[in-house]
Amino acid sequence: MLEDTQTCVDIIEKKQSMAGYCIGGGEFQLGELVGAGTFGQVYKAIDNNGRPHAIKAILSRNNRYSGKRVDARVLSSEINVLSHIPPHHNVVHLEKVFHSDRLVFMVFEYCNNSDLYRNIMENPAFNSPTVIKSVYLQLLCAVNHLHAHDVYHRDLKPENIMIAKTPKKNSDGCEYTVKLVDFGLSTTDLQSSELGCGSLYYTSPECNGVLFGNSTYNCEKNDIWALGVILVNLTTKCSPWNKAVPADPRFAKFLASRSFFFSMANISIYFNSVLRKVLNINPNNRCSIKKLAILVSKCNRFTINKKSSDSQPLFDHIDSINDSSRNINYMVRRSSSYEYSQTYSYMNLYKHPHKNAAKTQKNLPKCLSKFVYTPRYCSDTINTLTSSLD
């Protein structure tokens, strides 16, 4: 079924290109190489009818040149999960799988643009609050669909969110459609003992296993935390921290100060309360995906001009302060004696910010992972997107 399999294996192991090769008995011809790693490559391909596809070629055995070992669980997980869940317009569709002795080819639908990270960095259309809402609510729909079928992604990040671009009918501009991809770390287990699974910027405190000394974590709540960090990416153009652990200076500041997000951008008081609800360090109090969709849909704006005043109700700010108190109490209950001393220092910093602000600020890096985003609004209304979460 695969033409000249050994040659294909050698090409992948040596990180060369298979452009021009045919697979699947000549059904697909590989074109441009669009991504590569130690164990695989991703190509744009054309079938016999001229229809484009994305094809992932993955080694099913160890790389002989790098000496690195293939994790068979990652390969089987992606295939099994994508075969398990019903189709959804915001989740990439796995169309076919070809196996050989040392190779697996996975044929996906083709997304005709690029990932969210690249759009944030390069596409000036990704600055509109309307576009941010559209793209983000589509992402919530995708993740909600996974969770409804007991699938948890565990590696949500802008690089794993493809953006398909299509011209708007009878008007200027484009529509952007979210396609969630890369299910190599996904699981059907609600509870996991694989601490640290995922990408550093997006793993939750409980997944990192440092703040509370836990040995397992809830994968659904972990995905929701990652969605919160992605929301920060979209609206402030940067990453809030390197890793959600107390040793990270910016995460320590987040734990200590309710005004942390105000230091990143001129966000509204209401939006600060939204971020605090989704990035709640207590996973039991973290808001649900449906609630998050409602909160985001109510945001008239995410940031405000320095000269303008924030008209959001004061009770949102009071609610944020109450959340802070509950979070500190949760940290104290869950922490070990060593971690309790850390928590106590955060409480002191929160109560007496003037005493420690200069010391904390001195240790902060000047900049972290800058983004430049601007998504285009799709024809679906926010109400349609949020209602699909029911």
Which residues are known catalytic residues?
Answer: 155
What number of residues does the chain have? 390
Q: Which residues, at least 6 apart from 327, have a Cβ–Cβ distance to it below 8 Å?
A: 280, 281, 282, 285
Ramachandran area for residue 104 (φ above 0: left; ψ -120 to 50: alpha; else beta): beta
* CB neighbour class for 372 (10 Å; exposed up to 12, middle 13-18, buried from 19): middle
What span, in angstroms and rounded, lies between the C-alpha atoms of 293 and 389?
8
Scanning the chain, the segments in alpha helix (DSSP H) are 5-13, 72-84, 116-122, 129-148, 205-208, 219-236, 249-256, 269-278, 289-297, 314-334, 337-351, 353-362, 382-387
**The Cα angle at residue 360 between residues 358 and 363, in degrees rounded to 5:** 110
List beta partners, residue 58. Answer: 40, 104
Amino acid present at 286: R
What number of helices (H) and strands (E) belong to the chain?
Answer: 13, 11
List Cα–Cα distances, 306 to 234, 265, 352, in angstroms: 20, 10, 26
Cα–Cα distance for residue pair 302/132, rounded to 1 Å: 9
Closest CA to 96 of 68, 48, 148, 55: 55
